[in-house]
Amino acid sequence: MTTIHIDNVSRWFGNVVAVNDVSMSVAPGVTGLLGPNGAGKSTLINMMGGFLAPSTGTVTLDGEPIWRNERIYRHIGVVPEREAMYDFLTGEEFVLANAELHGLGAKEARRALATVEMEYAQDRKIATYSKGMRQRVKMASALVHEPSVLLLDEPFNGMDPRQRMQLMDLLRAMGDEGRTVLFSSHILEEVEQLAAHIEVVVAGRHAASGDFRKIRRLMTDRPHRYLVRSSDDRALAAALIADPSTAGIEVDVQEGALRVQAVDFTRFTERLPRVAHAHGIRLLTVSPSDESLESVFSYLVTA
């Protein structure tokens, strides 16, 4: 049991479309689900975890439906984003309860706590845990039955750098063992460090899929459009067009602004302020002028 298939899945809440006709499959290894906040990552993970029915389409694990199928949890471990967990229990009691619900016992609970290095605090109430400690105990509860699929919703939120490294090592090791590990994040660097394979969702749509380098190219190499207002638009236009980061400029007389098409996003964002400064021009507005994928990607890159 290893591959999750999402086929033509949409999910809406009332009039709001959270996930819009997404198809993807998540295979063994570590996959990062990347997208800005509100892109539909949690909705997708909730559907993969069997906590939400797709409005249309199917979500299956090696052909078996995940929704309304409790048996599937023998193969799936879930690390939810929400903080709430039985705070009145100690870490050990909590992980043990999770083990028992899988028909397992104290041995498995101990091993899971050791895996996340939480034995030192296992006798303390969860209510006293820091966010990072909670995250690790949640991990232990999801690992207790050694699932072949692990789903994690924003697992690095609130972790300090050391905890982040530890969790990354753990997830990497699990991916190397042949487990399917899917985690969501809105932070590019996290995904870059951990996942070889990335799925990008933007505004509920599946925007890109592939290895990290390919996606990075998609994000940075494609032309970006900006709306720029300055103290001297024509002088700025002349200066910018001389710079290789710029592919084209239109002087929008009606708007009183420049429409700039950048070749290289990173270079353009570096060059623009310098070029303006060198020519004594003040920048008044710089904003991505289209709501297309590129502008969101640029958000991701700068985030």
Partner 1 sequence: MALHQLYHPTVARLTYRGLLGRRRAAVLFALPALLLAISIAIRALSGADDQTAANVLGGFALATMVPLIGVIAGTGAIGPEIDDGSVVYLLSKPVKRHVIVVTKLIVAIGVAVAFSAVPTLIAGFVLNGNSQQIAVAYAVAAAVASVAYSAIFLFLGTVTRHAVIVGLVYALVWESLFGSLIPGARTLSVQQWALALAQRIAGDGAINAQVSLTLGLTLLAVATVAGTYFAARKLRTLTLAGEE
Residue 150, phi then psi, degrees to nearest 5: -125, 125
Question: Which listed range, 95-103, 168-176, 206-214, 255-263, lies at the site for partner 1 (CB under 8 A)?
Answer: 95-103
CA distance 294 to 269: 14
Closer to partner 1 by CB, 70 or 291: give it.
Answer: 70
- What is the spatial order of strands in the sheet that 16-26 belongs to? 16-26, 4-13, 56-61, 64-65
Question: Which listed range, 40-48, 207-215, 243-251, 272-280, lies at the site for partner 1 (CB under 8 A)?
Answer: 40-48
Smallest separation (angstroms) from partner 1 to the CB of 138: 9
Give the residue, chosen from 14, 37, 254, 291, that forms a contact with partner 1 under the rule CB under 8 A: 37
How many chain residues interact with partner 1 (CB under 8 A)?
42
Whether residue 90 contacts residue 119, with contact meaning beta carbons closer than 8 Å, is answered with no
Long-range contacts of 258-261 (CB under 8 A, 24+ apart): 258/227, 258/228, 258/229, 258/230, 258/233, 259/225, 259/226, 259/227, 259/228, 259/289, 260/225, 260/226, 260/227, 260/228, 261/223, 261/224, 261/225, 261/226
Give the residue, chosen from 1, 102, 232, 261, that forms a contact with partner 1 under the rule CB under 8 A: 102
The neighbour count for residue 223, using CB atoms within 10 Å, is 15
Whether residue 225 contacts residue 261, with contact meaning beta carbons closer than 8 Å, is answered with yes
Q: Does residue number 1 form part of the binding site for partner 1 (CB under 8 A)?
A: no
Smallest separation (angstroms) from partner 1 to the CB of 21: 18
Q: Does residue number 74 form part of the binding site for partner 1 (CB under 8 A)?
A: yes
Amino acid at 92: E
Amino acid at 196: A
H helical segments located in 9-121:
41-48, 91-101, 106-115
Give the residue, chosen from 90, 98, 122, 185, that forms a contact with partner 1 under the rule CB under 8 A: 98
Q: Does residue number 12 form part of the binding site for partner 1 (CB under 8 A)?
A: no
Token pair 């909590």 is found at 94
Q: Does residue number 185 form part of the binding site for partner 1 (CB under 8 A)?
A: no
Whether residue 220 contacts residue 268, with contact meaning beta carbons closer than 8 Å, is answered with no
Question: Which listed range, 25-33, 100-108, 213-221, 265-273, lies at the site for partner 1 (CB under 8 A)?
Answer: 100-108
Give the residue, chosen from 4, 52, 61, 293, that forms a contact with partner 1 under the rule CB under 8 A: 52
Closer to partner 1 by CB, 149 or 159: give it.
Answer: 149
Closer to partner 1 by CB, 129 or 212: give it.
Answer: 129
Smallest separation (angstroms) from partner 1 to the CB of 44: 9
Residue 65, phi then psi, degrees to nearest 5: -65, 145
Smallest separation (angstroms) from partner 1 to the CB of 124: 16
Closer to partner 1 by CB, 88 or 162: give it.
Answer: 88
Q: Does residue number 89 form part of the binding site for partner 1 (CB under 8 A)?
A: yes
Token pair 């958000």 is found at 299
Smallest separation (angstroms) from partner 1 to the CB of 75: 9
Q: Which residues bind partner 1 (CB under 8 A)?
A: 13, 18, 37-43, 45-46, 49-53, 68, 70-74, 76-78, 80-82, 84-86, 88-89, 97-98, 100-103, 141-142, 153
